[in-house]
Amino acid sequence: MSLTRLLAWNTLVQIGGRLVGLLVSIAFTALLTRHLGLATYGQLVAASTYVALFVILGDAGLYLVTVRRAAQDTERRAAILGTSFVLRALLPIAPLGIACALVRLIPGTRFANWEGVLFGAVVLLAVNAYLTLFGQFYVAIFRLHLRMDLAVAGEFLSRLVLLGATLAVVAWDGGLLAAVGAMTLGTLTQFIYGWIVTRRFEHFTPRLDRPLARAMLIESVPLAAVTLLGLVHFKVDTLLLSILQPAHDVGVYGVAYKVHEVIISFPGLFVGLLFPVFSRLAQQDPARLRIVFQRTFDVLALASVGVALFVYVAAPRLALVLGAEMASRPMRILAMALPPIFLSLGFTHLLLAESRQRWLVPLYAFLVLVNVAANVVLIRRFSYLGAAAVTVGTETLSLLILAAHRLGRQRWRLGLRSLWGVPIAIAIAWSLHGVAPAGPPGTPFMSHLLALAAISLAAMGLYAGCVLGLRVLPIAVVRSLLPRRGEPAVES
C-alpha cells in the first residue's frame, strides 16, 4: 500500500476510533451521573483534572520527541526506543507522587469538595495516568509503522472493558473508588494489548543511553512547556470551579465539558494529516503553503460552525441523555468556543511546521494568567456559566493573537468567504428552536435518544446542504486537501 493510502487509512480509522470513544464516553458519563449523582461525579471530574496537571510533567514532551527521532534515525531506533522506555518509566514517578502527597495537605474544612475518599481516587487516578503514559509509548510504535488501525483496535478493546466494568459498578452499587477502578481496568487492558502487539514490529531492550537521554530531554523542554501551559489553559476552569463552588456544580460543568473535550479532539486528526505538508511547504514552497492554509482555514471554519450548531440545537436532549439537565446551558455556551479552538489549531500547527514553538510558550503563559483571573471573578458570581463564558473569551483571544501574529508577520491576506457559515448556522438554529423541546418530566430514555438523533440529523443536513448548495465551500476545495497519488512522500 502506498504512503498516501496508508495516511488516508490511518486517518479514517482514527476518526472511527474517536467516534466509538465519543459513544462510550457518553454512555460512561450517563451511567455514572445517574448512579453516583452529580455531586460525586463532580468529585471524579475534580480529581481527574487535578491529576491531569501532573501527568504532563511526567510526559515532558517525550512522546513527540520519540516519534520524531525514531522516524529520522532508523539505525538507532532500538536505542531510542529503549531509552525512551526507561525515561517513560522514571519521569512520571516524582510528579504523580507529588500529586498524591499534596492532596493530603488540602484542608477538608477549607475545601469541602475534597473529602477523604478523594485521596484514594487520586491515588488510583495516578496509577491510571502512569499506565496511560506507557500506552502512549506503544502508540508511538504503531504510528512509526503507520499501523494506527492496531492502536485503534487496542483502544476499542479498552473501551469495551471500561463499559463492562462501569456496568458492573452500577449493578453492584459501587461508589467513587469503584468507578475510578473501572477506568484503570480499561487503561490496563490497553497497556497489556500494546505491550503484546508492538513486539511484532520492534525489538528493543530497555536501557538508559545517558547522552541520548540528555539530548531527548533538552529537546522536549519547549514541547513540555507548551503542552503544560496549554493543559492548564484548558483545565484551570474546572480546577477553580472545584475549589470555589459545590461539587454538584462541578458535576454539571463536567458533563458539559466532557462533550466539548471529545469534540475538540477531531480537528486534530485533520490538521495532523496536513502537518507534514505544512512542514514541507514551509521550507520548499511558501507560496503554495499560503494556498493550502487558506483551504485548511475554510474547512476548519465551516466544520467548527457546523459542530457548534449541532451542540447548540442538541444540548437540551443531550444533557438529558447524559443525566444532567442543567448542563444544557453551559454546553451551549461552550459551543461558541468551538470555532476559535478549531481555527487556533490550524494556526498553531502552522507555527510548529515553521519550528517556532518557542513563541507559543509566552502566549500560553499570558492566556493562563488571563484565564485564572477571569475565572476567579466570574466563577464566584456565575458558577459554571462563568467558567464556560471565560472559555469562549480566552479561546477567542487566543485566535485573534495567533492570527494577528502569523498573518501580520507574513503579510498574508486571508479570505473570509467561509465565515458565511455563521449566518447560515444562526438561521438554522433559529428555525429549529423549539422544534424538539426537552419534553415533560418522565419522558422515556429512548424518546430522548430518538429526538436527539432526529434534530441532530436535521440541523447537520440543513447546514451541509446550504454550505454546498450556496458554494460556500466547493467540493473541489476538500478534494484539493487530500494527499494526491504521486505527491512526494512525507512521514507523519
- In this model, does residue 162 exceed pLDDT 70? yes
- Tally Cβ neighbours within 10 Å of residue 330: 29
Three-class secondary structure of residue 181 per DSSP: helix
Alpha helix ranges (H) inside 145-246: 148-171, 176-197, 210-244
Measured between alpha carbons, how far is 363 from 406 in angstroms, rounded to an integer?
A: 13
How far, in Å, are 247, 257, 293 from residue 391 at the CA level?
20, 10, 26
Measured between alpha carbons, how far is 212 from 217 in angstroms, rounded to an integer?
A: 9
End-to-end Cα, the chain, rounded Å: 16
- In this model, does residue 67 exceed pLDDT 90? no
- In this model, does residue 127 exceed pLDDT 50? yes
Cα 423 to chain center, whole Å? 27
Residue in the block written with cell 518509566 = 89
- Give the mean pLDDT of the chain: 80
- In this model, does residue 63 exceed pLDDT 80? no
How far, in Å, are 136, 175, 336, 451 from residue 61 at the CA level?
11, 34, 30, 43
Alpha helix ranges (H) inside 322-359: 328-335, 338-353
pTM reported for the whole predicted model: 0.74
- The pLDDT value recorded for residue 333 is 96
- In this model, does residue 116 exceed pLDDT 90? no
Question: For residue 349, what is its C-alpha cell?
Answer: 500547527
Cα 267 to chain center, whole Å? 9
- Pick from 256, 390, 379: which is nearest to 323 by CA? 256
pLDDT tens digits, 295-343: 889 889 998 999 999 899 888 888 888 888 889 999 999 999 999 999 9
Q: 306, 460 in Cβ contact below 8 A?
A: yes
- In this model, does residue 480 exceed pLDDT 60? no
pLDDT tens digits, 225-281: 777 777 777 778 888 888 888 888 888 998 898 888 888 877 877 776 676 677 777
Share of the chain above pLDDT 70, in %: 83
Q: 334, 260 in Cβ contact below 8 A?
A: yes
Which whole number is the average pLDDT over 348-357?
Answer: 76
Amino acid at 398: S
Which whole number is the average pLDDT over 415-421?
Answer: 86
Measured between alpha carbons, how far is 292 from 304 in angstroms, rounded to an integer?
A: 18
Measured between alpha carbons, how far is 489 from 278 in angstroms, rounded to an integer?
A: 13
- In this model, does residue 286 exceed pLDDT 60? yes
